[in-house]
A and B are shown apart, each in its own frame.
Chain A
Amino acid sequence: MSRIGRAEVERIGHLARLRLEPEEADALARDLDAILGYVAELEALDTGGAPPASESPVTPLREDRAAASLPLERALANAPASDGSAFLVPPVLEGEDEG
């Protein structure tokens, strides 16, 4: 029984802002299904109430002091499109979700 099929891959692809051709989506679904099958062994493992490793790290803080920024031309130097002041992008189209 496959855990993940083309429709699911396309849904996740949308979340990740990736556009996949149908054959690509199918191939990726097969790959992901194999991988998810492999990681399923974690499900059965009893972690005995161990808290997740990521939680409660201490975050060092920075003093609230302003420092020099990049000059405008350097900030825009790699821009695919700019008007010398801002990065230019295509418009947000009617009906597009903002998620």
Chain B
Amino acid sequence: MTEPLGTAAELRRALDAGETTSAALVERALARAEATAPRLNAFVGLRAEAARREAAESDARRGREPARSPLDGIPIALKDNIAQAGEPCGCASRILAGYVSPYDATLVERLRAAGAIVVGRTNMDEFAMGSSTEHSCHGPTRNPWDLARSPGGSSGGSAAAVAAGIVPLAFGSDTGGSIRQPASFTGIVGLKPGYGRVSRYGLVAFASSLDQLGPLARSAEDCAAALDVVSGRDPRDSTSLPEPPTRCREALAGDVAGLAVGLPREALAGAGCDPEVSRAVEEGARELEKAGATLREVSLPHTRYAVATYYLICTAEASSNLARFDGVRYGRRAESAAGLTEMYERSRSEGFGREVKRRILLGTYVLSAGYYDAYYRKAQRVRALLRRDFEEALASCDALLLPTAPETAFPLGERTADPLRMYLSDVYTVSANLTGAPALSLPCGFAGGLPVGMQLVGRSGDEATLLRLADAFQRRTDYHLRRPELPA
């Protein structure tokens, strides 16, 4: 099997120095994707011909023109819920079988303009609803660190692709933790930008007030470069911030002296969190202290209501967003339906998986007459309280530090029969989506041979501080450089 690819920064240096070509990198990525497919199932489709053509064009430009961005000529992967013109966009669902997007997501347009080369689409939980990448019509993705375990979800394919060295960078989406938790389970960095930082135009909507697109990579430096490329105002997304693209990569000076990091007492109380995970996160905190940050205790009093709040709001929004899947204009249509209503009902029932149906039903219920105030509106009030908690905590700190997940990667099949238990693994991640805060997971150690991630949550608009802290941590540690042993 071909050697794993290094970080995007390393590949950039090699390309600029003439030590390798984009064509060679793309061949390695494709070969490794194919070789690992039976064991990992990280990809749902590859675009080999198009990627090779783009690599050839990139190589022809190199030397004659300056690089378009740090990502120029570098192979990347995109989650299967991001629209790419001329490519399938399946969201790991039967209901989108055969659907080919006629347009590019804004994220994709910007990546193309930057010279990045998409080699394929990665596996996910159907419509991003899940925390294990087991709810996919293509079967589960496996964790490269232990093939009997989940890589996390819903961006498990993207996480596995990076952790296994198939591509240095992949994009995922995060609605309740779907970038950060897989990053934690697979030992890489996952960034959920603040709400509005990256355009959602072309991201298949799950919960419109919570969804964000973001990068997964080995290093904070690569994530910063990726964010710089894809961020910035987009008139096609009314919720995108009216600001130019970020310049986070150039701000990574390695210095975090004077930054205050808050540790929420409710998260580190340990209740429900694997003690090995708590220990690794505490050691991570001490490492940041050695790097010059000061630690202080803060409180987020409404933490215990976050998961319930999340599951009421996200399912309500999902029931609305998924109403478009009706078999009329695209996707799977039930055969031989006698009437229109039967066509809607059977197309949807045959096309959606069990978890998706569960969430649509719950969302429809909480929005229905008689229940709207008690459930949905109440949850939105609790959401306002959570926002206030975070604002108060971040008034005296530059970032908060807590575990990403209460555990390490769990075995495949362990949670699929118990949806509520699966939902509870999002306890530390959902708040950042509910409040719109930027949040990042980075590897901080191992427990039982499995990666542990710690999470940094920041002020609105302040991805830069999170990336600075993560980058400083990675200059002093090497957890992010460790690779799983994949049998040949």
List chain A positions with a Cβ less than 8 A from chain B.
Answer: 4, 8-9, 12-13, 15-20, 28, 31-32, 34-36, 38-39, 41-43, 45, 47-48, 50-55, 59-60, 62, 70, 74, 77-81, 87, 89-93, 96-97
- B102 lies within 8 A of chain A by Cβ: yes
Contact with A along B338-365 (1 / 0, CB 8 A): 1111111110110010000110111011
Q: Quick check: A17 and B98 within 8 Å, CB to CB?
A: no
Q: Which residue of B lies closest to A16 (CB)?
A: B364
Q: Quick check: B102 and A77 within 8 Å, CB to CB?
A: yes
Bound Cα distance from A58 to B400, whole angstroms: 28
Bound Cα distance from A53 to B383, whole angstroms: 6
Minimum CB–CB distance for A33 against chain B, Å: 10
Instruction: Bin the interface of chain B by size.
Output: 35 or more
Minimum CB–CB distance for A83 against chain B, Å: 14
Q: Quick check: B420 and A17 within 8 Å, CB to CB?
A: no
Bound Cα distance from A16 to B344, whole angstroms: 10
Measured between beta carbons, the chain B residues less than 8 angstroms from A54 are 209, 380, 383
Measured between beta carbons, the chain A residues less than 8 angstroms from B382 are 42, 45, 47
Knowing that A38-B308, A89-B343, A97-B341 touch, tell me 9 more A-B residue pairs with CB under 8 angstroms.
A16-B319, A17-B345, A28-B357, A47-B378, A54-B383, A60-B242, A78-B329, A81-B333, A93-B338
- B56 lies within 8 A of chain A by Cβ: no
Bound Cα distance from A19 to B349, whole angstroms: 6
Contact with A along B247-266 (1 / 0, CB 8 A): 00000000000000000000
List chain B positions with a Cβ less than 8 A from chain A.
Answer: 98-100, 102, 209, 235, 238, 242, 302, 304-305, 307-309, 311-312, 319, 323, 326-333, 337-346, 348-349, 352, 357-358, 360-362, 364-365, 368, 374-375, 377-385, 387-388, 419-420, 423, 434
Bound Cα distance from A9 to B343, whole angstroms: 20
Q: Quick check: A12 and B364 within 8 Å, CB to CB?
A: yes
Measured between beta carbons, the chain B residues less than 8 angstroms from A15 are 364, 368
Bound Cα distance from A96 to B304, whole angstroms: 44
Q: Quick check: B362 and A20 within 8 Å, CB to CB?
A: no
Measured between beta carbons, the chain A residues less than 8 angstroms from B339 are 90-93, 96
| Between-chain CB contacts (< 8 Å), 13 pairs | A12-B365, A17-B323, A17-B326, A17-B344, A18-B357, A19-B345, A38-B307, A38-B420, A42-B309, A43-B374, A47-B378, A74-B102, A78-B330
Q: Quick check: A47 and B308 within 8 Å, CB to CB?
A: no
Q: Which residue of B lies closest to A15 (CB)?
A: B364
- How would you classify the secondary structure of chain B's contact residues: helix, strand, loop or mixed? helix
Q: Quick check: B329 and A79 within 8 Å, CB to CB?
A: yes
Q: Quick check: B364 and A20 within 8 Å, CB to CB?
A: no
Minimum CB–CB distance for B419 against chain A, Å: 5
Q: Quick check: B365 and A32 within 8 Å, CB to CB?
A: yes
Bound Cα distance from A60 to B443, whole angstroms: 39
Minimum CB–CB distance for B57 against chain A, Å: 24
Bound Cα distance from A4 to B364, whole angstroms: 13
Measured between beta carbons, the chain B residues less than 8 angstroms from A90 are 337-340, 342-343
Q: Quick check: A50 and B384 within 8 Å, CB to CB?
A: yes
Bound Cα distance from A61 to B308, whole angstroms: 34
Measured between beta carbons, the chain B residues less than 8 angstroms from A42 are 305, 308-309, 312, 375, 378-379, 382
Bound Cα distance from A42 to B331, whole angstroms: 38
Measured between beta carbons, the chain B residues less than 8 angstroms from A4 are 365
